[in-house]
């Protein structure tokens, strides 16, 4: 496992973004763990988050990115902080944009804010977590309606490794196949379990035996086979 992945998992735990217990996901499924990017609450945390994403994007895409897109709402600060980190730490000054939930009918109008998309722009979408891939499937038509862009990638904080329409392919991998883009996760649920099993973070054991059992049962139902 990449050292950056280990550091990112610890970072999520310290920010109370990655928690374990009994939750209801957006999909309606009861899940034994939850990733809530809304709990990044300080400038220091958001700046560090941007550095994690920027390092991953620089490694995966190099200079093949023109614009970062962050789907509203949690993708908005992700796009902004990642663009800042790319400029400050990787000497890559890329544009960023995001969508409104409702199109604006005054001022500049439209449903997109930030860098105006242009034909030929290479876009990477940044998100916090993916389960079924619904958000990105809704995002792609929006981007392609704005201009003849090339959506080259999707970068997520955590890949839950849950099945798409087939048992042997995750929702994230299915997105890559269906839409011809590269998908990258800063960490997967497998990374989380491997790193936190029998390990303490700041003097406390985060992932207990009961948590591990619940995750195993959940993944037996919904995980990639």
- Structural tokens at position 179: 């839409």
Q: What is the pLDDT of residues 49-98, one digit of tens each?
A: 999 999 999 999 999 999 999 998 899 999 999 999 999 999 999 999 99
Answer whether 186's CB lies under 8 Å from 158's CB.
yes
Q: Tell me, what's the pLDDT at 166?
A: 75
Among residues 13, 121, 143, 159, the alpha carbon closest in space to that of 70 is found at: 143
Q: Which of 106, 115, 179, 195 is catalytic?
A: 106
Q: Tell me, what's the pLDDT at 168?
A: 80
**108 class by beta-carbon count within 10 Å (0-12 exposed, 13-18 middle, 19+ buried):** exposed
Q: What span, in angstroms and rounded, lies between the C-alpha atoms of 214 and 216?
A: 5
**Does the N-terminal peptide bond of residue 178 adopt cis geometry, omega within 30 degrees of 0?**
no
Q: Report pTM.
A: 0.93
For the question of residue 104 being annotated catalytic, the response is: yes
- Structural tokens at position 59: 């490694």
Q: Tell me, what's the pLDDT at 132?
A: 65
Domain boundaries, the chain: 3-222
Among residues 126, 127, 69, 57, the alpha carbon closest in space to that of 95 is found at: 69
Residue identified by tokens 């980190």 is 85
Instruction: Tell me the chain's radius of gyration from C-alpha atoms.
Output: 18
Q: What span, in angstroms and rounded, lies between the C-alpha atoms of 206 and 100?
A: 36
Q: What span, in angstroms and rounded, lies between the C-alpha atoms of 225 and 90?
A: 38
Please report which residue ranges of 42-125 form alpha helices under DSSP H.
Answer: 43-61, 75-90
Q: What span, in angstroms and rounded, lies between the C-alpha atoms of 45 and 140?
A: 29
Answer whether 154's CB lies under 8 Å from 127's CB.
yes
Q: Which of 2, 26, 89, 104 is catalytic?
A: 104
- CA dist list (Å): 68 to 103, 104, 158, 194: 20, 21, 18, 30
pLDDT one digit per residue (tens) for the chain, 225 residues: 899 999 999 999 999 999 999 998 777 789 999 999 999 999 999 999 999 999 999 999 999 999 999 998 899 999 999 999 999 999 999 999 999 866 555 445 568 999 999 999 999 999 998 766 677 788 888 998 999 999 999 999 999 999 877 778 888 888 888 888 999 999 999 999 999 998 999 999 999 999 999 999 999 999 987
Q: What angle do CA 172, 153, 223 make, to 5 degrees?
A: 10
For the question of residue 179 being annotated catalytic, the response is: no
Domain 3-222 CATH assignment equals 3.40.50.2020 = yes
């Amino acid at each position: 496992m990449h050292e950056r992945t280990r550091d990112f998992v610890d970072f999520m735990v310290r920010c109370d973004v990655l928690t374990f217990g009994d939750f209801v996901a957006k999909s309606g499924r009861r899940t034994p763990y939850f990733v809530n990017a809304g709990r990044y609450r300080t400038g220091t945390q958001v700046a560090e988050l941007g550095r994690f994403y920027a390092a991953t994007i620089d490694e995966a895409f190099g200079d093949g990115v023109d614009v970062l897109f962050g789907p509203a709402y949690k993708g908005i600060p992700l796009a902004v902080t990642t663009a800042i980190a790319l400029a400050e730490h990787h000497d890559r000054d890329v544009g960023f944009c995001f969508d409104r939930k409702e199109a604006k009918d005054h001022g500049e109008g439209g449903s997109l804010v930030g860098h105006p998309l242009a034909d030929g722009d290479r876009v990477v979408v940044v998100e916090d977590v993916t389960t079924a891939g619904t958000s990105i499937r809704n995002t792609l038509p929006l981007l392609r309606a704005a201009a003849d862009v090339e959506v080259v990638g999707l970068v997520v904080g955590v890949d839950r490794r849950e099945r798409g329409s087939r048992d042997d392919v995750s929702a994230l991998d299915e997105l890559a196949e269906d839409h011809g883009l590269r998908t990258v996760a800063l960490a997967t649920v497998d990374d989380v379990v491997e790193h936190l099993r029998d390990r303490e973070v700041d003097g406390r054991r985060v992932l207990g035996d009961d948590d591990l059992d619940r995750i195993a049962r959940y993944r037996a139902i919904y995980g990639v086979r």
